[in-house]
Amino acid sequence: MVPRLPNHSIAKILAIFLIFLGWDSRLAHGQEDAVSPALLSLRIVPEDIHLSGLNPSQQVLLLGRYSDGLERDLTGSSLLLLDSAEVAAIEEKGRLTALAEGNATLHAQMANQSATASLTVQSPTAPPPFSFQHDIGGILTKRGCNDSSCHAGVKGRGGFKLSLNALDPREDYRWIVKGGTYQVMSMESAGPETPRVDLSQPENSLLLRKPTLLLPHGGGERLTAESSDYHTLLGWIQAGAPYERKEPEVVVERLTLFPEERVLDARGIHQVLVTAHLADGRTRDLTHRASYQSGNEEVVTVTDSGRVQARSPGETTIIVRTAGHTVSARFGVVSEPLQANPSPPPHNFIDDYVFGKLSRFQIPPSPLSGDAEFLRRVCLDLTGTLPPPGRVREFIASRDPQKRRKLIDALLDSPEYVDYWTFRFGQLFRVAAGAVGGAEHAYTYWRWVWENIAQNKSYREIALERLAAQGYGGASRHFLSYGEEAKAADIMPEEVRVFLGRRLDCAQCHDHPYEQWSQDQFWGLASFFGQISRTEWTGFGAAVLFDDPAGRQPDFGESAETVKVIHPRRKQLVKPAFLDGQAIASGGNGHPRREFARWVTAHPYFAETLVNRMWGYLFGRGLVDPVDDFRSTNPPTHPGLLKALAEDCRRHGYDLKQILRRITRSRTYQLASTPRESNREDTLNYSHFIPKPLEAEVLLDAISQVTGVPETFENGQGGQAPPGTRAIQLEVPDIYPSDFLQMYGRPNLLQIPEVEASPSLGQALHMLVGTTYTEKISKKGGRLDRLIQRNASHREVIEELYLAALSRLPSPREVAELESVLSTSSDKKRAWEDLIWSLITSREFAFNH
């Protein structure tokens, strides 16, 4: 059949008509009035302040709670008063400095509201315990010296290498005090070792002369000789540049921020407090020693001292680095605070978190979706399948108050659920002939995924099986790469990314440039996979994977590093070690990957990664997004919800169906996709369901379903998939080339897929002339042909096609206008073909909403 371009007037009219009548334009408009808020209360943070030699100063905040629900930073309003000027002094911006031992009270008063905080000062002149990481590394962080764009870059800068954010202080100490030129793949200095500190003439130290531009410095001026940081560095060198003093180093265990989450009005300013929690239980204010960065400077900017300034409505994070740690706070900016923002009744705990944040961020949620909208959405999300027209009518007509819950359960128990989630996990696990080196390998692997989904096996068990897989079974095929053993350095980061949601790849060759993953950690983890070996029986998919304590035999050239795991810089055999450096014994009859699997599945990251991934599948974006890119600089939008979902997941035994059930039952999931005027800009907080494009395979199946003409999948070996096979049912998808799937973003699975959802010109052209759209419409035996055979009326055709494609009945207006348009055509069949084409090329069809 020659592809036909439906370019006559009816098609155009129908297309335009559908755009106007479609869900795109069905917007609800809401107006909220702006009224000046009243101050309701004041508080000082922290309320209990301790100053000492360890912590000689403290940034304090004065906060006011207002009737619009916002808490504002009033610190700069000069409202803070200290009742004893001898004990401490307070600056205008709220920084308290200890003067003498004693107690005092800090007062604030404003608009009939007041607040107090207690102050205790002890041994203010005692020298604080020294920490190279904190005291010297902190300065290097604050001044940007150990930033990834400077000396903490992969190769360092100018031969001088520092670890990112002083993550590896001992290495930093070596390069500063011993000197030398850094090499990526060697522990040795590339040139003579000239110390960067001059103990005999401290002021002549490179460490001081370069950043003060007394010597040329590519990074420009970073210090002035008058600054306190300069004097701290100078004093350290004068003291002999020790790594630690007499007392043991006090390790910073963690950093906390205040606030962790804050909403600002359009003119809002807010100071961030940074508190270091030391290993000995004490705390220290690092607000003025930290480095700050805004995730989106169009939303907020932040000063070197941690003052956040609202710029435009939106939401972003402030990244804070110091003392080898990176943390973040979430800031939102609203244009006009709402006076009334009632939260809808929650369905479950998910809604508590989501609606709670919406309330704090002054974003009203959209109403609950209609039955038809929910039905289509949940069918596509849980089964990748459009509901049949009869089921749509049935569901819409049902008055059962539990019908949504019952539908969710029915879908989760359906074989279509198994098809779809086998497909989804098949993609995640890279079930492809090209990936594992043969269609038989891929098929065996696919079968393992299918069985797990069909049995609803605990995801923890799935992970354990996959990570520790040996022998010939399907899970072990994952360790084949082009038919050979996967390399440890390739497979480990994939496992960590899939199951722990972290991307360690960069740390293979060097410490991670942006995150706190070191090369040692990378190779320690990789070493768990260093004993994978294989026997090959005939090449017919019968490779047996096992862990050979002897390691692989030496081979040559490109894969030499896979023999055993050798640290590329240290040139030493690496023993398997977890992220905390704890090593396990290997060799003998040991099975190191089993240990790794146990560690992974017991790690808190495991459940968080899983629920985040499932959330991402359903909402189109994860609470952390991308779903496998957890990092300190990419924090979750709803950290509390993430933890609660993870805990719920653990409590229910990592039950995939339970996770899906929990989320799809939530009101959050069931909100309408139509935004209000006041939540239209929200893309992060789930105030309305954000439409997401159908995956290529689901879209193709949907077209086949609506037209009633199954796709034919031919493979490159002279065969084809059984008639009626859906795209999501292809067991080894990559042996079935498909222009349509390729065009709509089918991943090649040679690496973990990242779906590209952007529309393309090719897609547009394919809609117009592609065989998927044009040939299926009029094919004999298809839906339209059957309608013609039974001599259906215009109205029957319109209703059936709307139900099949959009899972809803047409509105009376749509029916009336379509009947009117269709009746102008002398060729009824052609007119109906145009109608079906218009439906399956509409956004309402191509998106899940």
Among the listed ranges 110-118, 541-549, 619-627, 651-659, the one in contact with other proteins (CB under 8 A) is 541-549
Q: Select from 274, 706, 721, 840 the one that contacts other proteins (CB under 8 A).
A: 721
* Residue pair 134/276 in contact by the 8 Å Cβ criterion: yes
Total residues interacting with other proteins, rule: CB under 8 A: 71
Judged by CB under 8 A, the chain residues 431 through 450 that form the site for other proteins are: 433-434, 437-440, 443-444, 447
Q: Which is nearer to other proteins, 349 or 472 (CB)?
A: 472
Strand runs (DSSP E) across 667-748, as ranges?
692-693
Q: Which is nearer to other proteins, 88 or 545 (CB)?
A: 545
Q: Which is nearer to other proteins, 168 or 419 (CB)?
A: 419
If binding is defined by CB under 8 A, does position 675 make contact with other proteins? no
Strand partners, 634: 631
Residues 348-367 as x/- pattern, contact with other proteins by CB under 8 A: --------------------
Q: What are the two backbone dihedrals, phi and then psi, of residue 204, each rounded to the nearest 5 degrees?
A: -85, 5
Q: Please report how close the Cβ of residue 543 comes to other proteins at its closest, in angstroms.
A: 8
Q: Please report how close the Cβ of residue 4 comes to other proteins at its closest, in angstroms.
A: 23
Positive or negative torsion for Cα 357, 363, 368, 372: negative
As given in the structure block, the two tokens for residue 412 are: 């989760």
CB neighbourhood size of 247 (10 A) = 10
Among the listed ranges 11-19, 24-32, 508-516, 719-727, the one in contact with other proteins (CB under 8 A) is 719-727
Among the listed ranges 303-311, 518-526, 557-565, 567-575, the one in contact with other proteins (CB under 8 A) is 557-565
Judged by CB under 8 A, the chain residues 319 through 338 that form the site for other proteins are: none
Q: Select from 200, 538, 758, 826 the one that contacts other proteins (CB under 8 A).
A: 538
If binding is defined by CB under 8 A, does position 183 make contact with other proteins? no
Contacts of range 608-611, beta carbons closer than 8 Å, 24 or more positions apart: 608/501, 608/642, 608/643, 608/645, 608/646, 609/498, 609/499, 609/500, 609/501, 610/459, 610/499, 610/646, 610/649, 610/654, 610/659, 611/642, 611/645, 611/646, 611/648, 611/649, 611/659
Among the listed ranges 48-56, 303-311, 553-561, 819-827, the one in contact with other proteins (CB under 8 A) is 553-561
Give Rg (Cα) of the chain: 31
**Pairwise CA distance, residues 101 & 124, whole Å:** 7
**Pairwise CA distance, residues 656 & 660, whole Å:** 6
Judged by CB under 8 A, the chain residues 82 through 121 that form the site for other proteins are: none
Judged by CB under 8 A, the chain residues 724 through 743 that form the site for other proteins are: 724-725, 734-735, 737
If binding is defined by CB under 8 A, does position 564 make contact with other proteins? no
If binding is defined by CB under 8 A, does position 848 make contact with other proteins? no
If binding is defined by CB under 8 A, does position 414 make contact with other proteins? yes
Judged by CB under 8 A, the chain residues 225 through 284 that form the site for other proteins are: none
Sequence-distant (6+) residues with CB within 8 A of 734 are 432, 433, 434, 435, 442, 748, 749
Q: Select from 533, 634, 683, 825 the one that contacts other proteins (CB under 8 A).
A: 533
- Cα–Cα nearest to 11, from 547, 699, 777: 777
Q: Select from 33, 48, 226, 558 the one that contacts other proteins (CB under 8 A).
A: 558
Sequence-distant (6+) residues with CB within 8 A of 769 are 3, 5
Q: Which is nearer to other proteins, 152 or 392 (CB)?
A: 392
Sequence-distant (6+) residues with CB within 8 A of 344 are 351, 355, 365, 367, 368, 667
- Cα–Cα nearest to 120, from 47, 205, 192, 191: 47
If binding is defined by CB under 8 A, does position 67 make contact with other proteins? no
Sequence-distant (6+) residues with CB within 8 A of 730 are 697, 713, 721, 736
Judged by CB under 8 A, the chain residues 9 through 48 that form the site for other proteins are: none
Q: Which is nearer to other proteins, 477 or 676 (CB)?
A: 477
If binding is defined by CB under 8 A, does position 605 make contact with other proteins? no
Judged by CB under 8 A, the chain residues 470 through 509 that form the site for other proteins are: 470-472, 482-484
Q: Which is nearer to other proteins, 20 or 537 (CB)?
A: 537
* Residue pair 96/49 in contact by the 8 Å Cβ criterion: yes
If binding is defined by CB under 8 A, does position 695 make contact with other proteins? no
| DSSP assignments along 406-469, one per residue | HHHHHHHTSHHHHHHHHHHHHHHTT--HHHHTSHHHHHHHHHHHHHHHHTT--HHHHHHHHHT-
CB neighbourhood size of 603 (10 A) = 16
Among the listed ranges 168-176, 370-378, 499-507, 554-562, the one in contact with other proteins (CB under 8 A) is 554-562
Q: Which is nearer to other proteins, 560 or 764 (CB)?
A: 560
Q: Please report how close the Cβ of residue 527 comes to other proteins at its closest, in angstroms.
A: 18
Q: Select from 534, 567, 598, 603 the one that contacts other proteins (CB under 8 A).
A: 534
Q: Which is nearer to other proteins, 333 or 467 (CB)?
A: 467
Q: Which is nearer to other proteins, 113 or 715 (CB)?
A: 715
Strand partners, 545: 471, 534
Judged by CB under 8 A, the chain residues 365 through 404 that form the site for other proteins are: 383, 385, 387-388, 391
Q: Select from 246, 554, 758, 812 the one that contacts other proteins (CB under 8 A).
A: 554
Q: At what angle do helices 592-602 and 604-619 cross, to 10 degrees?
A: 60
